A = this chain, B = another copy of it.
Amino acid sequence: MITLDELRKWTPEEKFYRKYARMKRNPQKFQQFLSTLDAGNLIEHGLVIPELPETVPSYFMDEYAQSCAEGGLIPEKRHRCQPAFLHQHAFFEIVYVLEGKCLHASTSMEREMEPGDLCIIPPGVEHRIYIGEDDLALAFRCSVAAIRQIFVLSRFRDTNTVVAFFSANSMTGGSRNNSCLFMHTEHNEELRQLALDIYEENQNRYSQYIPALYAMFELFWAKAMRYYLSSCEVSSDLPANSLIVQAVYDYIRNAPENANLPALAQRLHYTPEYTSKLIRQQTGFTFSDLVSQAKISKAAHLLKNTNHTVGHIAELVGYRNAESFIRAFKREFHMTPTEYRKHI
C-alpha cells in the first residue's frame, strides 16, 4: 500500500522546479540560473519555465490522455513547485488535494484548495495550478471518451450536480461557460485511500489494471457523491455576472434559514423577477433549489461537526419541523441524518 511518505519523495522534475522556485527569490542568481537552461532540452523533458516562453504549451492535446493509458484515465502526482502557467487541455483534469494546499486560478479568480478538495477542470477551460513545497496533490487526467463512458453511458443515472457537470462538458467536447466544479470531501479517509489506491494501481500496472482503475475511479465518485454532493460549487468565469452569482451564493450560504428572493433582489438592485431569471441562467438552478441545497449543506456540516440533535439542526437551518428536514435530507443523501452522522 502506497503511503504519503512515498509521494513526498522528490522526483527529478520536482527537484528541478524546486531549484527554480528557490532561485527565483534571488534575482541575481535567478538570471544566472536561467542562462544555464536550454529550451530544447526542457521541452524534451516536458519541463515548463515561463521565462522561456517556447517551453510553455498553452494547449495539451487529447493524445496525452489517450496514449499514456489505453484506457484514457491517468492518475498522476501533480509536480510540486511547477510554475503556475495558464493553459488548457483537450481532456478533463481532476485535482485532488492530499495535504497542504493547492492554488487554483482561472483568468478572473483565485482559490486556495484544502486537503480533500476536488476540482474538476473540463476541456478547454483556461487555468493555472500551483502546488508548493509542503503540499501534495494528485491529478486524474481523463479523456472525454472515458468521462462519457463513466458518467453518461454508465450506471450514474441519478442526475445530480456532478453527473450533470461531467455530462454537459463532455457533450460538446469543451466547456460551455468556462467553469470548474469544486467539491469538498474534507478528511474522508475512505476517499483518500481510494485516490491513493488508484494512483498505485497505475504505477504497478499488474494484469487487469485498466478495469481495476475504472472500477476504483467509479467507486470514488459514487462515495464522493453519496456524502459530499451538497458541498459542490460551480465556479463560473463569466466576467460580468460571476460577481452577481458569487453574491447570490454568499447571501444564501450565509443564512439559508432566512434567505428570501425579495430581500436578495433588493440588495442587488434588481427586481425579484430579473434576479430569479439571472440565477436560473447562471447556475442552472432556481433560487429555491439553491436555498434547499444550502440548508442541507449547512445541516450536513452541523451533523458532522456538532452534537446537536437532529431536531435542533432542523430548526437551525430553517425547517418547520424535523420530519420535513429528514424528508429533504433523505432526498439528497438517500439516508437519514442519523445514518449520515454515523457514516461520516
**Residues of chain A at the chain B interface (Cβ within 8 Å):** 71, 154-158, 204-212, 214-216, 218-219, 221-223, 225-226, 229, 332-335, 339, 343
Which B residue's beta carbon lies closest to that of A332? B207
Does A71 contact B215, Cβ atoms closer than 8 Å? no
Q: A212-B219, A216-B219 are in contact. Are A207 and B334 (CB under 8 A)?
A: yes
Stoichiometry (number of copies): 2
Does B225 contact A214, Cβ atoms closer than 8 Å? no
Chain A to chain B contacts (Cβ below 8 Å), 26 pairs: A154-B214, A155-B214, A156-B211, A157-B210, A158-B207, A205-B334, A206-B334, A206-B343, A207-B225, A207-B332, A207-B334, A208-B222, A208-B225, A208-B334, A209-B222, A209-B334, A211-B218, A211-B219, A212-B222, A214-B215, A214-B218, A215-B215, A215-B216, A215-B218, A216-B219, A219-B219
The CA of A205 and the CA of B218, in the complex, are separated in Å by: 16
The CA of A223 and the CA of B206, in the complex, are separated in Å by: 10
Min CB–CB distance A211 → chain B (angstroms): 4
Does A226 contact B208, Cβ atoms closer than 8 Å? yes
Min CB–CB distance A184 → chain B (angstroms): 17
Which B residue's beta carbon lies closest to that of A197? B219
In the bound complex, residues from chain B placing their C-beta under 8 Å from that of A155 are 71, 210-211, 214
Does B208 contact A215, Cβ atoms closer than 8 Å? no
Min CB–CB distance A291 → chain B (angstroms): 21
Does A226 contact B210, Cβ atoms closer than 8 Å? no
The CA of A335 and the CA of B203, in the complex, are separated in Å by: 12
The CA of A300 and the CA of B335, in the complex, are separated in Å by: 44
Does A215 contact B219, Cβ atoms closer than 8 Å? yes
The CA of A210 and the CA of B214, in the complex, are separated in Å by: 15
Min CB–CB distance A220 → chain B (angstroms): 9
Does A222 contact B218, Cβ atoms closer than 8 Å? no
Min CB–CB distance A1 → chain B (angstroms): 11
Residue from A155, A206, A214, A225 having most chain B Cβ neighbours under 10 A: A155
The CA of A207 and the CA of B223, in the complex, are separated in Å by: 9
Which B residue's beta carbon lies closest to that of A229? B207
The CA of A156 and the CA of B333, in the complex, are separated in Å by: 32
Residue from A207, A216, A221, A343 having most chain B Cβ neighbours under 10 A: A207
The CA of A155 and the CA of B73, in the complex, are separated in Å by: 12
The CA of A69 and the CA of B235, in the complex, are separated in Å by: 36
Query: Across chains A and B, which 5 residue pairs bring their CB atoms closest together, nearest first?
Result: A207-B334, A212-B222, A215-B218, A215-B219, A155-B211
